[in-house]
């Protein structure tokens, strides 16, 4: 899909999830990221091992209120409930605004009201599951599914007779991210864990994001033990590399992985163990399912589709703002 650029559109947002921000900045707009001394959480700017483009600009947080933007893009409760009142002028707080919701509700899965309740804003969810579970109040919603891109020379080999798990800080995030499931499965099949803090539970540690696709390409399959969170970008990247995916049939995974086509999912861990053992014993099966995962991901998580969806969201809120001013 061809993306029609709008490089003149100026978007203020925050560094909340580095990997997502990197993919977001593939959208042909100008992105302004506030920074503070010491770069505390949310104010990391162009940090991390990412190949940031020339359309990503760091700005001093104190200077934000003197700048001109077209859209304010919130990515966390802190951005929306606190940061906007600290950084933005009253006029800027009246600009077109989008809240990007990365996660499903934590407090109560079915009855939690979203912190945004504003018919003049747009609430963007990253999965249909997330939108389904939140009480979105009066705020208009849309879903923009993930878009990822991996180096063109990276392809699945599956040479390592192991599975790979990619989760940050699994030791402190516990059952929600499937620490107990990972530990259970590791007793039956060989699994390597990578991510921040992985060493705390016998993992290998963090792999830089730009090196991760090549690193995981050698593993026989990708295992996702997560019970309840949004769809991880690592799953999307693994699929584009060509790894078959094994995981729990929960959240958006239930409509992302097709049994026997791109991997295996179930809510019972016992058949998942059998499927992983099968993939270890049958590299041809793993390669076939991996190709199915890659085919699905190239369509579902296409970066051009992702960029076009975001451009349409930006244009929607700016057009709505123009209509308000005219009226």
Q: Which residue has the tokens 């009201």?
A: 113
Domain 160-300 has CATH 3.40.50.970: no
Residue 326 has pLDDT above 50, yes or no: no
Q: Which fold has domain 10-147+303-326?
A: Rossmann fold (3.40.50)
Residue 3 has pLDDT above 50, yes or no: no
If you write DSSP's letter for every residue of 109-173 in order, what string do you get? Answer: TTTPBPS---TTSEEEESSHHHHHHSB-TT--EEE----B---TT------EEEEEEE-TTHHHH
Given a contact cutoff of 8 angstroms between Cβ atoms, the answer to whether 269 and 277 are in contact is: no
* pTM given for the model: 0.93
What tens digit of pLDDT does each residue of 32-55 get? 999 999 999 999 999 988 999 999
Give all strands (DSSP E) within the chain, no chain letters.
10-12, 30-35, 56-60, 71-74, 97-101, 122-125, 141-143, 160-166, 191-194, 219-224, 245-248, 263-266
Question: What is the structure's pLDDT at 8?
Answer: 82
- Six-digit token string for 160: 């390592």
Q: Please compute the mean of the pLDDT values over residues 80-105 and round it to a whole number.
A: 97
Q: Show me where the domains of the chain are located.
A: 10-147+303-326, 160-300
Given a contact cutoff of 8 angstroms between Cβ atoms, the answer to whether 304 and 1 are in contact is: yes
Residue 208 has pLDDT above 70, yes or no: yes
Question: What is the structure's pLDDT at 320?
Answer: 74
Fold equal for 10-147+303-326 and 160-300: yes
């Amino acid at each position: 899909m061809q993306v029609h650029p709008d490089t003149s559109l100026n978007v203020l947002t925050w560094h909340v999830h580095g990997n997502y921000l990197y993919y977001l900045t593939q959208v042909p707009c100008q992105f302004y990221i506030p920074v503070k001394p010491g770069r505390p959480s949310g104010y990391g700017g162009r940090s991390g091992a990412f190949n940031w483009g020339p359309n990503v600009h760091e700005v001093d947080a104190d200077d934000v209120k003197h700048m001109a933007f077209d859209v304010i893009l919130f990515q966390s409760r802190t951005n929306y409930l606190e940061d906007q009142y600290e950084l933005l002028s009253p006029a800027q707080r009246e600009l077109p605004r989008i809240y990007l919701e990365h996660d499903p509700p934590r407090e109560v899965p079915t009855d939690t009201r979203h912190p945004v309740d504003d018919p003049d804003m747009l609430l963007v969810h990253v999965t249909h599951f997330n939108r389904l579970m939140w009480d979105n109040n009066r705020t208009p919603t849309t879903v923009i599914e993930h878009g990822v891109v991996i180096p063109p020379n990276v392809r699945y080999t599956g040479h390592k007779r192991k599975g790979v798990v990619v989760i940050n800080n699994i030791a402190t995030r516990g059952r929600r991210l499937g620490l107990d499931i990972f530990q259970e499965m590791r007793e039956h099949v060989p699994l390597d864990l990578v991510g921040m803090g992985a060493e705390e539970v016998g993992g290998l540690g963090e792999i830089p994001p730009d090196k991760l696709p090549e690193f995981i390409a050698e593993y026989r399959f990708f295992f996702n033990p997560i019970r309840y969170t949004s769809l991880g970008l690592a799953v999307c990247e693994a699929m584009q590399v060509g790894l078959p995916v094994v995981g729990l049939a929960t959240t958006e995974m239930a409509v992302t992985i097709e049994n026997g086509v791109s991997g295996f999912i179930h809510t019972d861990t016992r058949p998942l163990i059998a499927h992983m053992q099968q993939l270890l014993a049958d590299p041809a099966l793993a390669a076939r399912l991996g190709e199915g995962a890659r085919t699905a991901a190239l369509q579902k998580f296409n970066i051009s589709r992702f960029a076009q969806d975001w451009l349409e969201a930006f244009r929607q809120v700016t057009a709505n703002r123009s209509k308000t001013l005219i009226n």
